[in-house]
């Protein structure tokens, strides 16, 4: 969780973004597929939870079923680590990277999953409530639009939460603060990531629509879920947000380090060089800070020691 890097081989190289995306994705397709297989137990647990809520509530309740994201996001700790390594072109073993991600970040990702769910539930219920209100009064369009913008910002923030946790060794407070800042501060990258996710969803929907058979469609969706969706979705997000996120946070880190070093330098005692014959300078220095070091007569002494020397000479 602590270290991060940017591949220096990319400096000066600006291939077309789409070419780079497909080249890297297809080259690592085997790794991404294996990652999805390792993620499968979390998908099965989430599916079991959704089926349970369906049985208990006598139907599909979106708000209740969406809590499965908490389970899924724990597994995403491993998926995110693998996708990060793929993007920075690091040599690694998929199982080692996956379980490293789980070991280091499972609890944090569990917390993130709970935050995801709360944000979704509040946004969904609010949008539903305000949209229903628009049928009776036009006033409800205002809170509906405001809620939609906030929900979009939360969606954009979620793109950064997992990858930032897997990359940066920073506090949870700073992580969430940075995610909020990036939600609209990096609007272009967020829109590109959203477009990529939409294309993935459209492809899956199109395949299911063309088949037009419930059993076959269920099998296809299961295959996509087991071998494609988790790692592909995270790879799309990582591809579009990672570089700028790391670059901005790294620049901020260097700036804070520089400010800290300057502050430390200001706190250090200053050194003054004077000649032994300069009586006026001696008189002025004696009246100033007694702890300041002075280069006097070939050696470093404190002002307080200088005063004692002057007194003994008298």
Answer whether residue 2 shows pLDDT above 50. no
Range of the structural domain that residue 305 is part of: 269-313
Residues 283 and 261 in one domain: no
Pick from 166, 154, 170: which is nearest to 250 by CA? 170
Q: Phi and psi of 144, rounded to 5°?
A: -65, -45
Residues 167 and 190 in one domain: yes
Quote the percentage of the chain above a pLDDT of 90: 52
Residues 177 and 300 in one domain: no
188 CB-near residues (< 8 Å, 6+ apart): none
Q: Which of 177-181, 212-216, 248-252, 291-295 has the lowest mean pLDDT?
A: 291-295
Domain assignment present for residue 2? The answer is no
Average pLDDT, integer, range 216-220: 74
Instruction: Identify the pLDDT of residue 86.
Output: 94
Answer whether residue 286 shows pLDDT above 90. no
Domain assignment present for residue 83? The answer is yes
pTM above 0.85, yes or no: no
Q: What six digits make up the tokens of 47?
A: 């599916």
For residues 66 and 49, the answer to whether their CB atoms sit within 8 Å is no
Digit-coded pLDDT (tens) for 221-267: 777 777 789 999 999 999 999 999 998 888 766 666 655 555 555 55
Answer whether residue 274 shows pLDDT above 60. no
Answer whether residue 112 shows pLDDT above 50. yes
| Residue 283 to residue 267: CA distance in whole angstroms | 24
Answer whether residue 142 shows pLDDT above 90. yes
Residues 297 and 252 in one domain: no
Domain assignment present for residue 235? The answer is yes
Q: Which of 170-184, 225-239, 280-294, 297-311 has the lowest mean pLDDT?
A: 280-294
Residues 151 and 281 in one domain: no
Instruction: Identify the pLDDT of residue 62.
Output: 87
Residues 275 and 244 in one domain: no
Beta-sheet pairing, 299-302 with 271-273: unpaired
Instruction: For residue 310, give Cα distances in angstroms to 78, 262, 274, 276, 301.
Output: 71, 34, 15, 11, 13
Domain assignment present for residue 3? The answer is no
- Calculate the average pLDDT of the chain: 82
Residues 221 and 153 in one domain: yes
| Residue 43 to residue 36: CA distance in whole angstroms | 9
Residues 227 and 274 in one domain: no
Residues 293 and 149 in one domain: no
Average pLDDT, integer, range 107-134: 94
Domain assignment present for residue 71? The answer is yes
To 5 degrees, how large is the angle CA 153–CA 188–CA 68? 40
Digit-coded pLDDT (tens) for 82-102: 999 999 999 999 999 999 999
Domain assignment present for residue 196? The answer is yes
Instruction: Identify the pLDDT of residue 214.
Output: 72
Residues 171 and 58 in one domain: yes
> Max CA-CA distance within the chain?
108
Residues 214 and 281 in one domain: no
Pick from 83, 54, 82: which is nearest to 67 by CA? 54
HEC states along the chain? CCCCCCCHHHCCCCCCHHHHHHHHHHHCHHHHHHHHHHHHHHHHHHHHHHHHHHHHCCCCCHHHHCCHHHHHHHHHHHHHHHHHHHHCCCCCCHHHHHHHHHHHHHHHHHHHHHHHHHHHHHHHHHHHHHHHHHCCCHHHHHHHHHHHHHHHHHHHHHHHHHHHHHHCCCCHHHHHHHHHHHHHHCHHHHHHHHHHHHHHHHHHHHHHHHHCCHHHHHHHHHHHHHHCHHHHHHHHHHHHHHHHHHHHHHHHHHHHHHHHHHHHHHHCCCEEECCCCCHHHHHHHHHCCCCCEEEECCEEEEHHHHHHHHHHHC
Residue with tokens 């599916």: 47
Instruction: Identify the pLDDT of residue 224.
Output: 79
Average pLDDT, integer, range 143-166: 94
| Residue 163 to residue 239: CA distance in whole angstroms | 11
Digit-coded pLDDT (tens) for 30-87: 999 999 999 999 988 998 898 899 888 888 888 898 999 999 999 999 999 999 999 9
For residues 73 and 109, the answer to whether their CB atoms sit within 8 Å is yes
Residues 177 and 306 in one domain: no
Q: How many domains does the structure of the chain reveal? A: 2
Q: Which of 142-156, 196-210, 254-268 has the lowest mean pLDDT?
A: 254-268
Domain assignment present for residue 1? The answer is no
Domain assignment present for residue 150? The answer is yes
């Amino acid at each position: 969780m602590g270290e991060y890097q940017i591949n220096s081989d990319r400096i000066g190289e600006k291939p077309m973004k789409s070419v780079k995306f497909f080249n890297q994705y297809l080259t690592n397709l085997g790794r991404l597929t294996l990652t999805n297989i390792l993620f499968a137990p979390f998908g099965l647990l989430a599916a079991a939870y959704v089926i349970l809520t369906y049985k208990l509530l006598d139907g599909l309740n979106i708000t209740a079923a969406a809590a499965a994201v908490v389970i899924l996001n724990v597994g995403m700790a491993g998926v995110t680590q693998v996708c990060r390594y793929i993007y920075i072109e690091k040599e690694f073993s998929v199982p080692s990277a996956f379980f490293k991600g789980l070991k280091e970040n499972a609890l944090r990702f569990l917390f993130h999953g709970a935050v995801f769910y709360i944000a979704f539930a509040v946004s969904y219920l609010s949008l539903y409530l305000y949209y229903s209100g628009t049928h009776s009064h036009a006033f409800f369009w205002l809170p509906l639009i405001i809620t939609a913008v906030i929900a979009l910002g939360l969606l954009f923030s979620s793109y950064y939460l997992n990858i930032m946790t897997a990359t940066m060794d920073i506090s949870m407070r700073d992580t969430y603060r940075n995610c909020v800042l990036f939600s609209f501060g990096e609007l272009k990258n967020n829109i590109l990531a959203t477009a990529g996710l939409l294309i993935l969803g459209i492809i899956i929907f199109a395949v299911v629509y063309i088949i037009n058979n419930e059993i076959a469609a269920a099998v296809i969706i299961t295959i996509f879920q087991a071998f494609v969706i988790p790692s592909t979705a995270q790879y799309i997000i990582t591809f579009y947000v990672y570089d700028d996120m790391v670059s901005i946070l790294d620049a901020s880190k260097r700036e804070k380090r520089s400010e800290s070093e300057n502050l430390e330098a200001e706190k250090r005692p200053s050194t003054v060089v004077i000649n032994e014959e300069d009586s006026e300078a001696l008189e002025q220095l004696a009246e100033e800070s007694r702890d300041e070091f002075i280069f006097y007569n070939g050696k470093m002494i404190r002002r307080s020691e200088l005063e004692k020397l002057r007194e003994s000479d008298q």
